[in-house]
Amino acid sequence: MENCLFCKIIKGEIPSAKVYEDDEMLIFKDIAPQAKIHYLLILKEHFANIVEMTDEQAVTLARCLKKLSGMVDELGLQGGFRLVSNKGADACQSVEHLHIHILGGEKLSEKMA
Ligand code: AMP
């Protein structure tokens, strides 16, 4: 997608602090962290959010989350982590390319909203 910020990050047109990359996903540091560790996991294939996701993309996402589960130590998330994916205005989604927030590195709030 031409004007998608995260597609531009994937293409290297906008710099990012990458922590992991393979042929189907990228994990990079959120530019405005809301926890000691705050990464974004994105799929390289563009779709706006979980509602727009095809069955095939859902399988890719599940595979990527499984890969994430194998990287917990190297990502500094041994103490636990929280995954969040915002969809739509009520959830304040600001980038229309599916992304999973990965929050951790410290004790998080008991509240999620
Ligand atoms: P959301 O509000 O759920 O759509 O999340 C979008 C996230 O993207 C926010 O947490 C932003 O801080 C983050 N963000 C926006 N631009 C960049 C960027 N250039 N590099 C890294 N993270 C970004």
Percent share of the chain, pLDDT over 70: 100
pLDDT for res 1: 78
DSSP 8-state class, residue 110: S
Q: Residue 35: is its pLDDT beyond 90? A: yes
Residue 2 three-state SS: coil
Residue 57's pLDDT band (cuts 50, 70, 90) = very high
Task: Give the helix ranges, DSSP H, for 1-107.
Answer: 5-11, 55-69
Phi/psi for 100 (5° steps) reads -110, 120
pLDDT for res 105: 98
pLDDT for res 83: 98
Atom of ligand 1 nearest to the CA of 34: 10
Q: What CA–CA distances, in Å, run from 29 to 19, 23, 59?
A: 7, 18, 24
What residue spans define the domains of the chain? 5-104
pLDDT for res 2: 83
Using most ligand atoms within 8 A of CB, pick from 14, 29, 95, 99 the residue to mutate for ligand 1. Answer: 95
Give the predicted TM-score (pTM) of the model. 0.97
Instruction: Name the CATH code of domain 5-104 (choices 3.30.428.10, 3.40.50.11750, 3.40.50.620, 3.90.550.10).
Output: 3.30.428.10
CA atoms within 13 A on the CB side of 4: 19
